[in-house]
Structure 1
């Protein structure tokens, strides 16, 4: 057995006579980096969108509530009862809230790259992070607002009918999916051709009147039914109402059609953004 002590790991350098510096190991990759970026973008939008106005998120509830109240009061002056049930508030809320969720998501996601453009210069922030942040924040906000308003309306009118939850949830999920698909493809097209945002706004103005908020699909003449069937929002609103009105039958609702439109638009939008996002950012 040798009596000499073993040489230390940091032996003297034969050239300089000093201890060499230990080799630097590469920095470990940041775990959940994309999730951190998305959360940071969500917090940034919450502070800029709701934190700078008095009341903040209260306006997120008051705005759709005011729209539903105006619709209910206005139509109650010219009609004795709504097309379904006896409550104008519930009838218009079941049509307006899923439409509002779609409209808000499509508009916000469509402007996601423009809103986060300064931050997208950093390598850690990608265009997909910006899209997901806006989708998650506005989806959660829209769903919470809908739950608050519908719960309040049902409590106020003393609604005793047994509700069917699955169609309600499915309708809101379909509205979120359609808003995401339309928003992503509009984000790509408007980034390449800025005039598209104005064109799209003009083309979709009749949607508020043509999405079944004020009427029932089955009450329309056959020609109008054949045309409006291709509007995915007609299916979403009809599905939403089947969850609140057990006697209402909506055989025209086609979930596969709405999913196909949403996924098709989303796929085309993702392909365009993946191909042209650098060109959009450099404009």
Structure 2
């Protein structure tokens, strides 16, 4: 190179070449470098996409679709009502067996469906977990929101149908009714998160939990009221949060039923402890669970 060319490169006062200088581009280190607003919008889109995918796979391929989601609990309540009407003259509350068992069974299936589906969130959405925009929390939220809203919608339809044929002789209190379904959903989310982690870490836990949880239907005050039980049994079942949920539901439907044993603090506290514990387990072991599937 000539001396003039060397001087032009080393002297900043000399005019430079007209060729554009490319800007320095730094690599983005994952989603942490994205704005919080962008992360939230991406997560919301992922949750909505997962919800639509599950709606199509669960109900879109079945003849009747969502009709079966309504007919199944309705048939169960009707069968219970017919069976117990042959044994007893009247239910523990009111005069309608159908209404009495519906008030206990509908919050129970709200808990059961949410916990069952949340526990299998990673298994259902495993194929999409390889995409960086889809995380385990998106899969959990999608299943929780969809199944909670679906079961609540079914419960509203069934209660409307039952109340159109049954005279309640009182006004419904929607506050306790909605609170009962909210507590059932939160309890189902907590149990589902814990089971999602445990099933991923110890696959045999799924069979064990199915065996352990079978008596839960009989111990959740669905077929009876809390006051019908002997003191020794009721003192033990009081620690089952679903007993409080069914009592809260019946307080809203039957204006004369007080359900003084219901503790909102206890029920909400148990649900939040389970949710927090489940989130800790999932945050710690979600990558291991996905790798082992």
On whether the aligned pair clears a TM of 0.5, the verdict is: yes
Matched, 1:229 2:241: no
> Match of 1:172?
181
- Following the alignment from structure 1 to structure 2, what is the Cα–Cα distance between the partners of residues 154 and 25? 65
Report matched runs for 1:109-120 at 5 Å: 109-120=118-129
Unaligned runs of 5+ in 2: 1-14, 29-33
Report matched runs for 1:257-272 at 5 Å: 257-272=266-281
> Match of 1:90?
99
Matched, 1:131 2:140: yes
Contact kept, 8 Å, 2:94 with 2:168, in 1: the verdict is no
Deviation at 1:24, TM superposition (A): 8.9
> Match of 2:265?
256
Matched, 1:150 2:159: yes
Report matched runs for 1:1-283 at 5 Å: 20=20, 23=23, 30=38, 32-283=41-292
Measured on the aligned residues, the alpha-carbon RMSD in Å equals 1.8
Are residues 24 and 70 of structure 1, via their aligned partners in 2, closer, same or farther at CA, if it must alter by over 3 Å?
Answer: farther
Q: Spell out, residue by residue over 1:165-202, the C-alpha distance to the aligned partner (whole angstroms, 9 max, x if none).
A: 11101101000110000000110111100111111110
- Following the alignment from structure 1 to structure 2, what is the Cα–Cα distance between the partners of residues 25 and 40? 32
Are residues 21 and 154 of structure 1, via their aligned partners in 2, closer, same or farther at CA, if it must alter by over 3 Å?
Answer: farther
> Match of 1:10?
none
Are residues 164 and 118 of structure 1, via their aligned partners in 2, closer, same or farther at CA, if it must alter by over 3 Å?
Answer: same
Paired residues in the alignment total: 269
> Match of 2:5?
none
Deviation at 1:25, TM superposition (A): 7.8
Unaligned runs of 5+ in 1: 1-12
Deviation at 1:98, TM superposition (A): 0.1
Taking structure 1 as the reference length, the TM-score comes to 0.91
- Following the alignment from structure 2 to structure 1, what is the Cα–Cα distance between the partners of residues 226 and 153? 27
